[in-house]
Structure 1
């Protein structure tokens, strides 16, 4: 059994349909865009979780995000390498 009740034949049908709709040249771009979206969502969720943990333990602590910015417990953001 596949994702959400879709079997192997359903997955193959979806892949063929996506290939017909988007074409072979657009599918890699579409896959990369979806991957970047999921990665950004995961990083944002991780940042929120670490902010919650740091705020509960030490309100003046700092959190470094994935892009190098430092967020203080007071809500200020500074760009540091």
Structure 2
């Protein structure tokens, strides 16, 4: 398992440090916020990619 160049052992260390820093009560809230942020970044990325593809098709049609 490799996510953004971070393997499972590194993820466990990051989780343990976060647990020590934020405590068990804040961790689920932080996880939800992080998940929402990642989801919105994914949506923005897909929208940007779709716009680029649309523009490329329009340029291709115009050059014919």
- TM-score range (shorter-chain normalised) is 0.5 to 0.7
**Structure 2 equivalent of residue 28 of structure 1:** 28
**How many residues matched?**
58
**Structure 2 equivalent of residue 51 of structure 1:** 51
Query: Higher relative contact order by CA 8 Å / sep ≥ 6: 1 or 2?
Result: 1
| Normalised TM-score (structure 2) | 0.66
> In structure 2, how many angstroms separate the alpha carbons of the residues matched to 1:23 and 1:46?
34
1:5 deviates by 7.1
Bigger proportion of residues as strand: 1
1:20 deviates by 1.5
Unaligned runs of at least 5 residues, structure 2: 60-64
| Normalised TM-score (structure 1) | 0.55
SS of the residue 1:25 aligns to: coil
Bigger proportion of residues as helix: 2
SS of the residue 1:58 aligns to: helix
1:53 deviates by 0.8
CA RMSD of aligned residues (A): 2.6
1:12 deviates by 3.8
